[in-house]
Amino acid sequence: MSILSVRSVALTVLGYPLSWLELVGTLAYLWSVWLMAQRRMLTWPVGLVSVLLYLALFWQIRLYSDALEQVYYLGASVYGWYRWTRRTATGQDELVIQVSPPSTLALQIALVAIGTMALGHWMERAHLILPLAFPEPAAYPYIDAGTTVASFVAMGLLTLKRLESWLWWIGIDVLGIWLYWVKDVRFVALLYVFLLGLAIRGLIEWQAERVSVAALPGR
C-alpha cells in the first residue's frame, strides 16, 4: 500500500491508527507555522511539503474544501516566499508589519461570509455535479467551507505581513480542532491545539515587533 494512502498506517497511538500522510504532513505543518511566528524564510519551503501531503489527505477523507484550500496554499506559498525575500534599495525588508484600516477589515469579514455560503452551497452538491472528482457527499460542507475561505484570507494577509492574519488563524484553529476531531483525524485535531497556541504567540510577537518598528526614528 502506498504511503500516500490514508490507510497506510505509520503507527498506532492509544488505539488510533496514524497514517504516514497525517503524521508527516502534520509535523511539517507544525514546523512551518513555528517558523512563520519566528519570521523565518524557511517557513515557505517547509510549508510547501505539508501542503502537498495535506492535499492528498483531505481529498481522501472527503473534506473537499480543505483539499481545495491546499491548491490555493501552493500558489500563496510561492508568492509569500517571493515577497518576503524582496528588499528595498536601502537593504531593508520591503514589507513591515501593519494593521489593515477598518474599511479593509470589514471587507475581509464580508468576503469570508459570502465566500462561505457560496463554497458551502457548491460543495454540498459537488458529488452530484462532478461525481468522478467527488465520489461521495462532502462532510460538513459549510463549516469546511468557512475554515477554507477564512484561510484564503488569512494566508493572503500573512504574505503581506498584516497583523490581523493571526486573529483569523486563531478563529480557524478553534473550528479546526472540533472539525478534525469529529472526522477522526485526531492527530490533526491535536495539531490544531498547538497551532492555536502558536497563532496566539505569533499575534503577540508580531504586535511587539510592530510597536518597536513604529518607535524607530522616521517611522
Has residue 143 been placed in a domain? yes
Has residue 192 been placed in a domain? yes
Has residue 91 been placed in a domain? no
Has residue 103 been placed in a domain? yes
CA distance 106 to 101: 9
Has residue 4 been placed in a domain? no
Q: At residue 39, does pLDDT exceed 80? A: no
Instruction: List, for residues 15-35, the tens digit of each pLDDT value.
Output: 777 788 888 888 898 888 788
Has residue 209 been placed in a domain? yes
Q: 181: domain range? A: 9-86+98-214
pLDDT band at 74 (very low <50, low <70, confident <90, very high): confident
Mode of pairing for the β-strands spanning 9-13 and 16-19:
antiparallel
Q: Please state the rounded mean pLDDT for residues 142-159.
A: 89
CA distance 28 to 26: 5
Q: Is the pTM of this model over 0.95?
A: no
> How many structural domains does the chain have?
1
Has residue 172 been placed in a domain? yes
Task: Identify the pLDDT of residue 189.
Answer: 86
Instruction: List, for residues 189-204, the tens digit of each pLDDT value.
Output: 887 898 899 899 989 9
Has residue 32 been placed in a domain? yes
Task: Identify the pLDDT of residue 197.
Answer: 92
